Structure 1
């Protein structure tokens, strides 16, 4: 999927194409939010009649850009698989096409609510989630969005996607427990990079660690190459014992993984830590510079069970985001199954015990951001190895 560099001086043309792909990959986290404010009384949500099927609107970008039809189908399939698994609750799922744009998202959100939807599941992209939240707030309807942009959460919007904040908390806590407490962050000069850098700084302070240096780079061939020398000098000057990389595998990460060791940032001495998944795509596991690095992933056993069940039901594997739709339905069903008419209010959604999802335990914090139990993994001999398992409950974990 990507070509490795032979030497830094040959990096230019190859990095340019990867940077373009990376910008697309980070789209979920790079939207600027509009403040949604708070709902009167601080407890948004519709009352429901638990003796009847609960109308749930699923918002997906069926007719959006490249790949949107595929991810939309996978999200819908996962939601229906979750509905079939429910005990004690019935869901009337109605699917609406956002086309991946904000204007249509607003229109279909209003249509869904007019059709009787008691809660919105989705949409996918950050700007669309913001649009859905604004429209639904007018009717006191909660939105469980698939975005991973934590800054969009609040009021009636709950973020289901895997967030930088959640990952950073897990990794900084683990790093501190292993004696790694002085971090240098490496982040692109864009919205996603800023979100990642801020998440690491906040999580480090809470875990007893500290960020001793920040290296940012422009999303260009020269920017990535220049950052390598800056990282080396910053590590040397600060005595940092870990480098925190925010880039993903479709962007600059493969180049940092090669160029940093070549420049003298020895991963055997300075721990490499990643804010994104390093096991996707599988080719990433071959990168020498990432061997021994740390990253997070959902409970691999639960994830494998979901993939197998999805494959058996639909004849193909799920999209990596499909589990978000399953989890949304699982949370709605678990709450409604108790026979409580206030099951879909903010107070119920933010219950401390959380929910069991297909990728492990999760819960919504009071600010609307999801907290997920994650495993810490490393790469050994080009294989993923879990070095700290995902928690099975929130007892003694998280907030």
Structure 2
């Protein structure tokens, strides 16, 4: 086991930066009481609309990188708008809740009609509470669906969205008996609940739930439990909630060694296995299924961003572009209530750089996702992302 950890830590170190960007769920939401969506700042047709972008410019070095990419993507989106005028005002949250609340108050005082960001869940909650009394809505970059509601809308890719899409696909391919594997922490609890809910909604059954502590012994013990559960329950799928920066590389090696043959028992991934590319090198993930945004659209955005800024975008940069794209599409309509909760939750949704998306009534984003697999260490799309909400998968 010690040799295993030494080998897989090298792979984990390579992918830490990108994978960590998606671990934005560790926050307990604060109730927004009886708030039912913000009315939105009143928009005057033909006049510029002030959008406040809240990012952690002076947080850790990693935060500063993400913040710069989010701002760059937002400005790229503004340049692409046709028929909508947006003034972008950028505020530094420093990655902490107190400052997020303070700069939200400042943004409202400066005339912001809508808030784009912040990045982290606790910051988003703080911003939402401050903006609620003004009726201003917040499009947060967090992926914590538990924070959505009231005037807070979650832009980040959620476990629920991924689990629903992937479980429906699995059931359509005859995979109905699932063993879920999730860490014994807050993110793992969210992932485990998402898998259970998706299974119930799609006609699948979670025949066993395995939780683990992230340690040598914890992962090893969990791998044994998964193998026993697959055998004793005749499970035909194992749903792994971990990402590549945590236990995924370990399970990718340990489970096949314990007799969970990925050519017989389908491996499913709740997180993206295409970021970074080294993830596809893990032998145990060959043939596994996971969700990802439309790769063609993502490649187009990556190319345009690189041409504009001289380097590829951070995986989260597209969230800022999507937020501006949605705001611009609504402002273009020329209605005074263009940024209200009712307008944001229009059923047709919006077109973003990662594909079609829309906000549900509960404030959680729903995105059109592709189903992908790994073959010979290459990502291959099995089922393309739908381009509208009338298409397959919705």
TM range (shorter): over 0.9
Counterpart for residue 127 of structure 2: 132
Match 2:144 to one of 126, 135, 149: 149
The residue that corresponds to 1:93 in the other structure is 88
The 5 A counterparts of 1:1-399 are 8=1, 10-11=3-4, 27-39=23-35, 44-397=39-392
Equivalent residues of 1:39, 1:140 under 8 A apart: no
The change in CA–CA distance for 1:111 and 1:250 in structure 2 (over 3 A counts) is: same
Q: Quote the offset at 1:27 in angstroms.
A: 3.6
CA distance in 2, matches of 1:111, 1:46: 15
Residue 312 of structure 1, CA deviation? 1.0
- CA-based RMSD of the aligned residues comes to 1.8
Change (3 A) 1:296 1:27: closer
Cα distance, 1:112 vs. partner?
Answer: 0.3
TM-score w.r.t. length of structure 2: 0.96
Tell me which residue corresponds to 1:4.
Answer: none
Change (3 A) 1:26 1:353: closer
Consecutive unaligned residues of structure 1, counting only runs of 5 or more, are 1-7
CA displacement at 1:340 relative to structure 2: 1.0
Aligned partners of 2:7, 2:326: CA distance in 1, in Å? 43
Kindly state the Cα deviation for residue 44 of structure 1 after the two structures are TM-superposed. 3.1
Q: How many residues of Structure 1 are paired with residues of Structure 2 in the alignment?
A: 391
Q: 1:147 to 1:16 in 2, by over 3 A?
A: same
Runs of 5+ unmatched residues, structure 2: none
Paired residue secondary structure (1:67): helix
Partners of 2:381 and 2:393 lie apart in 1 by 19
Deviations 1:212-233 (A, max 9, x none): 1000001212111110000000
Deviation, structure 1 residue 280: 1.4
Answer whether contact 1:16 1:220 (CA < 8 A) is retained. no
Conservation of the 8 A alpha-carbon contact between 2:38 and 2:136: no
Measure the CA separation in 1 of the matches of 2:70 and 2:2. 43
Show CA shifts across 1:91-142 (max 9, x none): 0100000000000000000000000000000000111011111111121110
Report how far residue 26 of structure 1 moved: 5.5
Q: In structure 2, what is the Cα distance between the partners aligned to 1:280 and 1:313?
A: 22
After TM superposition, give the deviation of residue 16 of structure 1 in Å. 8.1
Counterpart Cα distance in 2 of 1:115 and 1:38: 26
Does the 8 A contact of 1:15 with 1:221 survive in 2? no
**Range that drifts further, 339-348 or 21-30:** 21-30
Q: How far apart, CA to CA, are the structure 1 residues paired with 2:252 and 2:103?
A: 43
